[in-house]
């Protein structure tokens, strides 16, 4: 090509490049605002000094409450069993007799002296009659011996009888009297045996067990009934040696039965020794009469020990994670910070905080269970 030749641009190609550029500008102008910006584009949102975006939206809405400081009742919780205050074993005082009737069953209210069961009395009555006859015979022998002795004493100074004969009459009198007394004692024993054919309640109470059966032949001392004396029940709570010093005789105890019924009892006694198996000390608490009290059932007790100042938060503010208790502290920028706390007593719907929070800090209440560290929240009343 000749170097002096002038090259002119092609008009067709220039118009083509102009059209392509105009189309790209139009597409950029029509791009929606919500679409993701190309990599490397500059954001229009301001970035705060701590790296957070000042235009970030709250993750959720919560309510915030500061802890309350006030008097909270001191109490001691313990577990135990409901037991009979005292149990009486009602047994047979005779042996070899057959039970004729059984007049009491488990759960019956009985009075002192009330007949609970009876034995067949034929044998005992025959023994009583035999004893009575023996008394009459011994009395007759004694009277005869006494008459002989009286005659011997009246003539002992006349010499009509020797001293040995007189001594025999006097001795026979003493033997006759002894036999008479023995016969009377035997007759009294037969009367007692006859009276024992009726089994009577030794005190007022409630029948708690019965082993007596009609037709059974029992031995002396065999238990026929077991009864709760006077129907009194007690709660036997177990407390540790470190806690027993806070319990005093006469103190009130709130006892919750297995049925959910609550009764107010009173500490009657504290065991002087600890159980060798559990190392706990038994506290005996008298309970008022109630139809739902059943010996051998489980019950929980709470000893009221007075009041003390405490820092409390609503129970809904507590979040349990990995076996630990946390609260979420909301700062002035509405940012949530997870805080581990140590809890104490529970009073209604509030929980005592022993450590981890001050009275000036606000914690999330409603919605606290859904928060995470660093979440931005919206605080509402």
Say what the pLDDT of residue 227 is. Answer: 92
pLDDT surpasses 70 at 13: no
Give the 3-state secondary structure percentages of the chain, helix then strand then coil, rounded to 5.
25, 40, 35
Please state the φ and ψ torsions of residue 314, each to the nearest 5 degrees.
Answer: -60, 145
Say what the pLDDT of residue 1 is. Answer: 42
pLDDT class for 49, splitting at 50, 70, 90?
very low
Q: Domains in the chain, start-ordered, CATH in brackets?
A: 60-72+309-380 (2.40.420.20), 77-86+230-307 (2.40.30.170), 96-116+198-229 (2.40.50.100), 121-196 (1.10.287.470)
CA atoms within 13 A on the CB side of 311: 17
**Can you point out the beta strands (E) in 66-222?**
68-84, 87-91, 97-102, 109-110, 115-119, 198-200, 205-210, 217-218
Cβ distance 230 to 84 under 8 Å? no
- Quick one: average pLDDT of 316-343? 90
pLDDT surpasses 70 at 51: no
Say what the pLDDT of residue 264 is. Answer: 94
CA nearest to 315, candidates 358, 368, 354: 368
- Residue found under tokens 């065999």: 222
Say what the pLDDT of residue 240 is. Answer: 92
> 179: helix, coil or strand?
helix
pLDDT tens sequence across 78-121: 999 999 998 899 988 888 889 999 999 998 999 999 999 999 98
Per DSSP, the residues of 222-265 read: -EEEEEEETT-EEEEEEE-TTTGGG--TT-EEEEEETTS-EEEE
Q: How many helices (H) and strands (E) does the chain have?
A: 3, 22
- Quick one: average pLDDT of 205-230? 90
Say what the pLDDT of residue 29 is. Answer: 44
pLDDT surpasses 60 at 250: yes
pLDDT tens sequence across 150-202: 888 888 778 777 888 888 888 999 999 999 999 999 999 889 888 888 999 99
Mean pLDDT of the chain: 83
> 270: helix, coil or strand?
strand
> What does DSSP assign to residue 104?
-
Sign of the CA dihedral with 31 first, then 33, 34, and 35 last? positive
Say what the pLDDT of residue 44 is. Answer: 33
- Quick one: average pLDDT of 334-362? 87
Separation CA 226–CA 127 (nearest Å): 30
Please report, to the nearest 10 degrees, the dihedral formed by the alpha carbons of residues 337, 338, 342, 346 taken in order.
90
pLDDT class for 9, splitting at 50, 70, 90?
very low
Say what the pLDDT of residue 34 is. Answer: 40
Token output for 256: 């919750």
- Percent pLDDT > 70 in the chain is 85
CA nearest to 216, candidates 312, 99, 136: 99
pLDDT class for 352, splitting at 50, 70, 90?
confident
pLDDT surpasses 60 at 7: no
Separation CA 76–CA 253 (nearest Å): 9
Cβ distance 64 to 379 under 8 Å? yes
Separation CA 367–CA 330 (nearest Å): 12
Say what the pLDDT of residue 55 is. Answer: 57
Who's near 338: CB < 8 A, 6+ residues apart?
Answer: 319, 326, 327, 328, 371, 372, 373
Cβ distance 336 to 374 under 8 Å? yes
For the whole prediction, is pTM greater than 0.75? no
Separation CA 263–CA 256 (nearest Å): 6
pLDDT surpasses 80 at 231: yes
Say what the pLDDT of residue 249 is. Answer: 92
Who's near 244: CB < 8 A, 6+ residues apart?
Answer: 270, 281, 283
Sign of the CA dihedral with 67 first, then 72, 74, and 80 last? negative
Say what the pLDDT of residue 37 is. Answer: 38
Own/partner long-range contacts of 210-214 (Cβ < 8 Å, ≥24 apart) = 210/102, 210/104, 210/105, 210/106, 212/99, 212/102, 212/116, 212/117, 213/99, 213/102, 214/99, 214/100, 214/101, 214/102
Residues in the chain: 381
pLDDT tens sequence across 266-316: 999 999 999 999 899 999 999 998 888 888 899 999 998 777 788 899 999
- Quick one: average pLDDT of 330-354? 87
- Residue found under tokens 């809904």: 316
Separation CA 329–CA 107 (nearest Å): 59
Per DSSP, the residues of 276-299 read: TTT--EEEEEE----TT--TT-EE
């Amino acid at each position: 090509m000749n170097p002096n030749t002038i090259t002119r641009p092609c008009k067709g190609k220039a118009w083509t490049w102009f059209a392509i550029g105009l189309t790209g500008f139009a597409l950029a102008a029509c791009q929606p605002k919500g679409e993701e910006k190309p990599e490397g584009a500059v954001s229009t949102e301001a970035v705060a000094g701590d790296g957070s975006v000042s235009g970030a939206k709250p993750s959720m809405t919560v309510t915030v409450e500061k802890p309350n400081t006030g008097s909270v009742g001191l109490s001691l919780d313990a577990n135990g069993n409901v037991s009979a205050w005292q149990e009486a074993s009602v047994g047979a005082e005779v042996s070899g007799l057959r039970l004729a009737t059984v007049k009491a069953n488990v759960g019956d209210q009985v009075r002192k002296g009330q007949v609970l069961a009876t034995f067949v009395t034929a044998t005992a009555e025959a023994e009583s009659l035999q004893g009575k006859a023996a008394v009459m015979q011994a009395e007759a022998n004694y009277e005869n011996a006494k008459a002989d002795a009286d005659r011997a004493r009246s003539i002992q100074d006349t010499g009509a009888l020797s001293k040995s004969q007189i001594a025999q009459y006097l001795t026979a009198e003493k033997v006759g009297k002894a036999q008479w007394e023995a016969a009377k004692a035997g007759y009294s024993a037969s009367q007692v045996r006859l009276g024992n054919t009726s089994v009577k309640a030794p005190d007022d109470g409630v029948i708690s067990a019965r082993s007596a059966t009609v037709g059974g032949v029992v031995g002396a001392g065999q238990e026929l009934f077991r009864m709760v004396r006077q129907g009194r029940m007690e709660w036997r709570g177990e407390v540790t040696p470190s806690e027993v010093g806070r319990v005093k005789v006469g103190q009130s105890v709130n006892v919750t039965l297995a049925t959910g019924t609550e009764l107010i009892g009173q500490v009657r006694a504290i065991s002087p020794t600890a159980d060798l198996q559990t190392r706990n000390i038994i506290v005996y608490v008298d309970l008022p009469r109630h139809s739902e009290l059943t010996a051998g059932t489980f019950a929980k007790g709470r000893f009221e020990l007075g009041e003390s100042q405490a820092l409390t938060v609503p129970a809904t503010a507590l979040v349990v994670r990995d076996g630990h208790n946390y609260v979420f502290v909301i700062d002035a920028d509405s940012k949530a910070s997870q805080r581990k706390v140590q809890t104490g007593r529970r009073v209604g719907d509030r929980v005592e905080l022993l450590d981890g929070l001050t009275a000036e800090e606000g914690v999330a209440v409603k919605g606290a269970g859904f928060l995470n560290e660093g979440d931005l929240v919206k605080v509402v009343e």
